[in-house]
């Protein structure tokens, strides 16, 4: 796992000092070593976290005649198999790294090399003969890649902060991205919070041609699971057939993800997904697997460590458990937020940072259960999709005139179980619609368009793509049953821009590589060949996953509902986090940036503190944005 960067500037020779600063800004992603390569107007930089071929894997890496150079971030799990084929074709290797496999694969197959790679990756290959950069991002967006382009200059990196080392890059605020952030808590590709800096979408590659005296870009999608064109019945129908194929696919994925030349472990939350990964790792390892869990003192609603211990005992793991209190959590807020390249408001970013920090003291690589919910149907909103068809059968007058007004009158909160259930019911009701995409969108959104108009001093009419249209287009693209359409939407949207972005940023901030076996290409394709009712069976979420692997799970986990990687943020906003919140989101600072209506924020905060309504997500959204804005001061224009 590493950090990559580079620049192509037709106006001047490579600024070596700039390239060095860009690389140094990624030191946390690759603390082991760093290097660079220049070719007149082209420069490539790399920071390395050594995982495979510790002695000889230094980058950039070149082909035999040094006409191609590559910088690479990620892991290719089938590199040994690919390497054998390339050796048979006459390619000469000087390392045993997966990085060198990519460059020789590109020599052999050109852009088609992407079809053969299995793993997580973001890389750039410079072809000095063609004067072309070839950049690509893995199929599901596990690894990030961002870039800036103004016609004569192209800059890319793993992180925005690296691009901003160039003082000539404008810091223009992107209002469309701000609208996305208020809607979703994160900013989906291709936008970033800066107008002229873009994210490369998952499953896409980009060519940067400088051969004719100008720089021209071409972006192309090379992979989409929707292109498999499964029909409404799916191709895997019988439960026993599905279980057999799923077990083989996940076992093979876990085996491949365990390849490493350094110590390896696993996150163990106590939930279904990570417990299955740990169970399989234990069967394939000749020594106890190191497992890592995090919990919160005094908050049983948010603590799954007891379940994690059961899984550890069952699999005889070398278990490490970190119990934190509110002081630990509040203490890392400045460090986490100061390292965000753009506003990002998933509150599990804080425990993810902490478990990554503690895990990184023992291992360099950890496997996680991320991706299982999006592939197999693990979220409450997926269950909501199942329940919606029954609720819609209730007479409309009864729903609108009696049930919904009564529910909206009742208090809700995120810090006690009864009120937490009420909050979830209200969220379910708020998203009910005859249209599937609109339902899903409403369950995802933080601030609706109407709420944003009240929150903001001005609401621009031209913001680019309507977020609802984005979700609707994804739903339409997948030609399958209703459940798989929603899962596909989450796989392509929520997963890369929220879950995977969170894990990558927080783990790499602690120089820890996190691998995600549930996002193996073959496993994902198998899952989307299954009927949706194999994943969501009545009220049972991830049905096929649990049925397949219940023999390696403690019995107590079989029927557990998903809890999630959570913290008692709702309660903290009223007490422990109050002073910090008001120091950042106060009338003076809010009026200085001119974006928010302070009176609207005050109404939201007062309502939350009175327990009349849970506004923890909205408050965190505002708090994190205001913190980011105060630190970075983008040009509003």
DSSP, residue by residue, 308-373: HHHHHHHHT-EEEEEEE-HHHHHHTHHHHHHT-SS----TTHHHHHHHHHHHTTT-SEEE--TTHH
**Residue 516: its pLDDT value, please?**
98
Residues 6+ apart with CB under 8 A from 605: 573, 581, 585, 615, 619
Give the mean model confidence (pLDDT) for residues 57-82: 93
Q: Could you give all domains of the chain from N- to C-terminal order, each with its CATH number? A: 2-223 (3.60.20.10), 227-377+481-557 (3.40.50.620)
Contacts of 582 (CB under 8 A, 6+ apart): none
Q: Minimal CA–CA distance to 138: which of 89, 73, 228, 69?
A: 73
Alpha-carbon distance of 170 to 152, in angstroms, equals: 14
DSSP code string of 259-296: --SS-EEEE--SSHHHHHHHHHHHHH-SSPPEEEEEEE
pLDDT digit string (tens) for 129-186?
Answer: 999 999 999 999 999 999 999 988 999 999 999 999 999 999 999 999 999 999 999 9
Which DSSP helix (H) or strand (E) runs through 429? helix 417-430
Backbone angles phi, psi at 354, to 5 degrees: -65, -45
Model confidence band, residue 107 (pLDDT cutoffs 50, 70, 90): very high
What angle separates helix 380-391 from helix 417-430, to the nearest 10 degrees?
A: 60
Q: For residue 625, is pLDDT > 70?
A: yes
Mean pLDDT of the chain: 88
Residue 15: pLDDT band (50, 70, 90) is very high
Does residue 637 register a pLDDT over 80? no
Name the percent of the chain lying above pLDDT 90.
Answer: 66
Compute the distance between CA of residue 607 and CA of residue 603 in angstroms, rounded to an integer. 6
Question: What digits encode the pLDDT tens for the residues 349-370?
Answer: 998 999 999 999 999 999 999 9
User: Per 3-state DSSP, what percentage of the chain is helix, strand, and coil (rounded to 5)?
Assistant: 45, 15, 35
CA dihedral of residues 134, 139, 144, 146 (deg, nearest 10): 40
Residues with catalytic roles = 2
pLDDT tens-digit series, residues 222-278:
999 999 865 444 566 688 999 999 999 999 999 999 998 888 999 998 899 999 999
Q: What pTM was estimated for this model as a whole?
A: 0.92
User: Which pair of structure tokens corresponds to residue 508?
Assistant: 């790499």
Q: Find how far residue 612's CA is from the centre of its chain.
A: 32
**Separation CA 434–CA 288 (nearest Å):** 51
pLDDT tens by residue, 514-561: 999 999 999 999 999 999 989 998 888 999 999 999 999 998 776 665
User: Strand pairing partners for 366?
Assistant: 265, 514
Question: Sheet holding 365-367: strands in order across?
Answer: 318-324, 290-296, 264-267, 365-367, 513-515
Which tokens in the block code for residue 632? 């970075």
What is the pLDDT at residue 262? 84
Radius of gyration of the chain (CA): 24
Nearest-5° angle of CA 184, CA 276, CA 507? 50
């Amino acid at each position: 796992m590493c950090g990559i960067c580079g620049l192509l500037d037709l106006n001047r020779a490579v600024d070596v000092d700039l390239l060095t600063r860009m690389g140094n800004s990624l030191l946390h992603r690759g603390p082991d070593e760093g290097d660079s390569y220049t070719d007149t107007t082209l420069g490539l930089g790399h920071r390395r976290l050594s995982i495979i071929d510790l002695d000889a894997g230094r980058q950039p890496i070149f082909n035999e005649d040094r006409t191609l150079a590559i910088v690479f971030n990620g892991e290719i799990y089938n590199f040994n198999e690919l390497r054998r084929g390339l050796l048979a074709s006459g390619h000469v290797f000087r390392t045993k790294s997966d990085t060198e496999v990519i460059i020789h694969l590109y020599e052999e197959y050109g852009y088609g090399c992407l079809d053969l790679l299995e793993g997580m990756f973001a890389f750039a290959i410079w072809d000095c003969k063609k004067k072309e950069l070839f950049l690509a991002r893995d199929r599901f967006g596990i690894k990030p890649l961002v870039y800036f382009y103004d016609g004569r200059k192209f800059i890319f990196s793993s992180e925005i902060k690296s691009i901003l080392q160039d003082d000539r890059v404008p810091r223009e605020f992107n209002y469309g991205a701000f609208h996305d952030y208020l809607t979703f808590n994160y900013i989906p590709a291709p936008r970033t919070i800066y107008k002229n800096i873009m994210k490369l979408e998952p499953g896409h590659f980009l060519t940067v041609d400088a051969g004719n005296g100008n720089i021209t870009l071409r972006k192309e999608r090379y992979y989409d699971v929707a292109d498999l064109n499964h029909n409404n019945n799916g191709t895997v129908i019988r439960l026993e057939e599905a279980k057999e194929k799923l077990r083989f696919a996940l076992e093979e994925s876990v085996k491949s993800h365990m390849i490493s030349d350094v110590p390896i472990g696993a996150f163990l939350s106590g939930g279904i997904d990570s417990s299955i990964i740990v169970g399989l790792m234990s069967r394939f390892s000749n020594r106890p697997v190191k497992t890592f869990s995090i919990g919160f003192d005094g908050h049983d609603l948010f603590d799954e460590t007891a379940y994690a211990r059961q899984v550890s005992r069952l699999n005889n793991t070398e278990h490490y458990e970190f119990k934190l209190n509110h002081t630990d959590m509040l203490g890392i807020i400045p460090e986490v937020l100061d390292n965000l390249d753009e506003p990002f408001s998933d509150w599990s970013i804080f425990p993810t940072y902490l478990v990554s920090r503690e895990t990184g003291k023992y291992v360099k690589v950890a496997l996680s259960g991320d991706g299982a919910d999006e592939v197999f149907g693990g979220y409450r909103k997926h269950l909501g999709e199942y329940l919606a068809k029954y609720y819609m059968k209730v007479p409309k007058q009864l729903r609108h005139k009696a049930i919904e007004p009564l529910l909206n009158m009742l208090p809700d909160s995120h810090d006690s179980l009864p009120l937490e259930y009420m909050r979830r019911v209200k969220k379910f009701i708020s998203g009910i619609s005859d249209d599937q995409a609109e339902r899903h969108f409403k369950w995802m959104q933080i601030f609706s368009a109407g709420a944003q108009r009240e929150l903001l001093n001005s609401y621009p009419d031209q913001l680019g793509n309507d977020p609802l249209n984005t979700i609707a287009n994804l739903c339409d693209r997948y030609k399958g049953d209703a459940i798989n359409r929603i899962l596909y939407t989450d796989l392509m949207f929520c997963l890369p821009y929220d879950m995977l972005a969170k894990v990558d940023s927080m783990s790499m901030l602690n120089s820890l590589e996190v691998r995600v076996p549930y996002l193996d290409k073959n496993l994902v394709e198998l899952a989307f060949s299954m009927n949706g009712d194999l994943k969501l069976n009545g009220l049972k979420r991830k049905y096929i996953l649990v049925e397949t692997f219940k023999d390696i799970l403690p019995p107590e986990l079989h029927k557990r509902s998903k809890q999630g990687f959570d913290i008692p943020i709702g309660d903290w906003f009223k007490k422990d986090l109050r002073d910090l919140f008001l120091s950042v989101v106060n009338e003076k600072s809010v009026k200085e940036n001119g974006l928010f209506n302070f009176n609207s924020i005050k109404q939201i905060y007062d309502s939350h503190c009175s327990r009349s309504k849970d506004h923890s997500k909205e408050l965190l959204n505002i708090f994190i944005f205001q913190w980011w804005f105060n630190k970075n001061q983008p040009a509003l224009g």
